[in-house]
Amino acid sequence: FPLKHFFIVFEHILLHGYNGKKSFSISTSSNRKDLWPIIDFISRKSTDVHISEISISSKEMTNIRTSLGRVRAWLRLALMQKRLADYFKILVEHKDELKDLYDHEALLLSDESIIIPGLLVGLNVLDFNICLRETTLDHPVESIIHYSLYLR
């Protein structure tokens, strides 16, 4: 559960205040937006050679058919390669260029967003091995997190 919750929270951080193009409907009452332009932005700004491998791998997965699934796979691959903090730092360092994609109240555009890459660096001490072949990443996940699990 903790890793699942981590990805839910991280997805919410990226979606907070995001105005990018809408890609598909989850339900009749809400729409998810296509976050792949954010991944493309990170790819353009990064000097890391591994980022193209992650992007290509997430695009070529045959079990993933939606943009949301590709973004989720990309996040998991970046975490496994211990580069998620570096890529998120790129977003935080280029806030001015993200203003046309995000509302001015978005978490990524706030001054406090610089804290997040620092927290993500701590994950680099852990080795993650996530099987993405049999994982369903295209479908919406339950976004309710019971914090009582973490407050013991």
Q: List the CATH number of the domain containing 52.
A: 1.20.58.900
Q: Return the pLDDT at 21.
A: 57
Q: Could you identify the residue written with the tokens 């019971």?
A: 146
C-alpha dihedral (41, 27, 148, 113), degrees to nearest 10: 20
Total domains in the chain come to 1
Average confidence score pLDDT of the chain: 86
**Could you tell me if 123 and 85 are in contact, meaning their C-beta atoms sit under 8 angstroms apart?**
yes
d(CA 141, CA 76): 15
Residue 28 lies in a domain: no
What does the alpha-carbon distance between residue 51 and residue 13 come to, in Å, rounded to a whole number? 20
Q: Which residues have C-beta within 8 Å of that of residue 33, sequence separation ≥ 6?
A: 15, 18, 19, 20, 21, 22, 23
Q: In this structure, is residue 27 part of a structural domain? A: no
29 occurs within a structural domain:
no
Question: Is residue 10 within 8 Å of 75, Cβ to Cβ?
Answer: yes
**pTM confidence score:** 0.84
What confidence score (pLDDT) does residue 32 get?
Answer: 58
Write phi, then psi, for 136 (nearest 5 degrees).
Answer: -95, 105
Q: Is residue 25 part of a domain?
A: no
pLDDT-derived band of residue 25, with 50, 70 and 90 as boundaries? very low
Identify whether 52 is part of a domain.
Answer: yes
Q: Which domain holds residue 130?
A: 2-18+34-149
> What pLDDT digit, counting tens, does each position of 94-142 carry?
999 999 899 999 999 999 999 999 999 999 999 999 888 877 888 887 7
